[in-house]
Amino acid sequence: MIETGEILQTMRMIQEENFDIRTITLGINLLDCSDPDPAKCAERVYEKICKTARKLVRTGEDIETEFGIPIVNKRISVTPVSMICQGDPRPIAFALDRAAAEVGVNFLGGYSALMHKGATKADERLLASIPEVLSETKLLCSSVNVASTRSGINMNAVREMGEIIKKTAEMTADSDGLGCAKLVVFANAVEDNPFMAGAFCGPGEPECAINVGVSGPGVVKVALESVKGQPFDVIAETIKRTAFKITRVGQLVAREASQRLGIPFGIVDLSLAPTPARGDSVAHILMEMGLEMAGAPGTTAALALLNDAVKKGGVMASNHVGGLSGAFIPVSEDIGMIEAAAAGALTLEKLEAMTCVCSVGLDMIAIPGDTSAAAISGIIADEAAIGMVNNKTTAVRVIPAVGKKAGDRVEFGGLLGFAPVMPVNPMRNDEFIARGGRIPAPLHSLRN
Amino acid sequence: MTKALISVTGLDTTGIIASVATRLSEMNINILDITQTILDGYFTMMMIVDLDGANLDFEEINRRLQPVRDEKKMTIHMQRMDIFDAMHRI
């Protein structure tokens, strides 16, 4: 029988420490919806999503009520649209947005292109349409994979993405560049990621699958409060134990959702995902380890320990772990990161170092509106290089704040939060970005 | 067996246990375990119950506990036991 203390601990984690399931994401394969006529393709896409995801939101809400664990988002990820569109991709984008609204999900991801080695005609059409599509849709998220350890970095795509991010910011300037919050550039993108903006249902995925992302930085922070002054061995062990408990609930929710929907279980993503709410911050975990603020010397080491311990604890708690799995360090979505950036403790360069040891990359960072497209491409190239060489997923989701400069503030609302505009190194790199071509894959890509 | 935890908290007053137990009995829900304590005048009770006898869905059972919440001014949460088993038992 479960003891009273254990029951109280679980209840405290949920009620006071912001433990929640961040998302149940339903991956849907759309390859069979392809058609030379974009309108027909859009119609098939709409119908397939409405049919497959009909019960998703209701099922999520039922599980939430019965198990007493908040499930913050219900989402859908689909096959990268560039793989199904044979003509103009825009009708498909609008159909996806309508379908997402119809079934009631919070986001739908997969307006995507995988072009780490090169672009198809469909990839090119999709890229060109991103600024317009993101300014005219509400729930649709877009991602582009520009590099991989196996194939190197597609610098043509990197160059283009700098310009697309600029244009998307300009076209959504009235909402502080919100379009860019729904657009992410990847290296080594994963096929079963349940988190936005980068979720898509990869070509190796089944017809459909349930992927679950857990959360709970607040729980880890509180657990560490009980081991003040102890050596790092104890810190690592405490994080592992906490991550195990969190992930077990993720696994339970995933299994339950899979059974009720009759859709196979895919993975549990072990990521620690913060929100702008106080007590739900990854930066505050780093501070609990003894740093005055995120960005202080030692931050990268603290994050490395956290990221590793989360994986070690979580991996034993689920029979399939996948997605991004690690600690997220978005700036605008984490109150501790926001405060550190506003105080000047956290710079873009320090964040870049942190992305070498964490789950993803430069995430939700507002940069000055006059940052050049080449500078954004340079940031993407640097991040892609880290991912390529270290065999990990990295990503860039920056938001050029139109008409604003370093120190100003942008506001996105909800889970996306708010952020101070961070300065970008002003040295020029136009000639570097203008070269194009491919940066070859590293030697360790040849592993056979 | 579908087990659920019912937690009841609030200012102590007479008849709380009786009130909750009566409601459960009306729904044919069997009580498997009870722990109860008073902390600084606050009543805290945890009940583990078996929902299978009820033949009602979870939401309906929860709804039928509402009069107890209103009448006794208690906070009552009901959740499936699976979440505690998942978190604390391998």
Q: How many CB atoms lie within 10 A of CB B3?
A: 17
Angle between helices A90-103 and A38-52 (to 10 degrees): 20
Closest listed residue to residue A95, CA positions, set A44, A42, A37, A33:
A42
> A419-431 burial string, b = 16+ CB within 10 Å, else e?
bbbbebeeeeeee
Sole residue written with tokens 């069997």: B30
Interface test mutation site (partner B, options A67, A219, A315, max chain B beta carbons within 10 A): A67
CA distance A146 to B39: 59
Query: Peptide bond preceding A197: is omega within 30 degrees of 0, i.e. cis?
Result: yes
Q: How many CB atoms lie within 10 A of CB B67?
A: 11
Q: Is A5 in CB contact (< 8 Å) with chain B? A: no
CA distance A355 to A179: 23
**Contact check, Cβ <8 Å, B84/A68:** no
CA distance A6 to B55: 29
Name the band, by pLDDT with cuts 50, 70 and 90, for residue B40.
confident
Min CA distance, A4 vs chain B (Å)? 8
Task: Select from A10, A62, A65 the Cβ nearest to the Cβ of B83.
Answer: A10
CA distance A253 to A440: 42
- The pLDDT, as a whole number, for residue A437 is 98
pTM over 0.90: yes
Min CA distance, B71 vs chain A (Å)? 23
Residues of A in contact with B77 (CB under 8 A): 11, 68
Walk along chain A (448 residues) and give the pLDDT tens digit of each residue.
Answer: 788 889 989 999 998 999 999 999 999 999 999 999 999 999 999 999 999 999 999 999 999 999 999 999 999 999 999 999 999 999 999 999 999 999 999 999 999 999 999 999 999 999 999 999 999 999 999 999 999 999 999 999 999 999 999 999 999 999 999 999 999 999 999 999 999 999 999 999 999 999 999 988 999 999 999 999 999 999 999 999 999 999 999 999 999 999 999 999 999 999 899 999 889 999 999 999 999 999 999 999 999 999 999 999 999 999 999 999 989 999 999 999 999 999 999 999 999 999 999 988 899 999 999 999 999 999 999 999 999 999 999 999 999 999 999 999 999 888 888 999 999 999 999 999 999 999 999 999 998 8
CB A139 within 8 A of CB A182: no
Residues with Cβ within 8 Å of B88's Cβ and at least 6 positions away in sequence, in order, are A2, A6, A9, A10, A245
- The pLDDT, as a whole number, for residue A3 is 87
Q: Which amino acid is at A47?
A: E
Closest listed residue to residue A182, CA positions, set A414, A436, A422, A423:
A414
Q: Is A260 in CB contact (< 8 Å) with chain B? A: no
**Contact check, Cβ <8 Å, A7/B80:** no
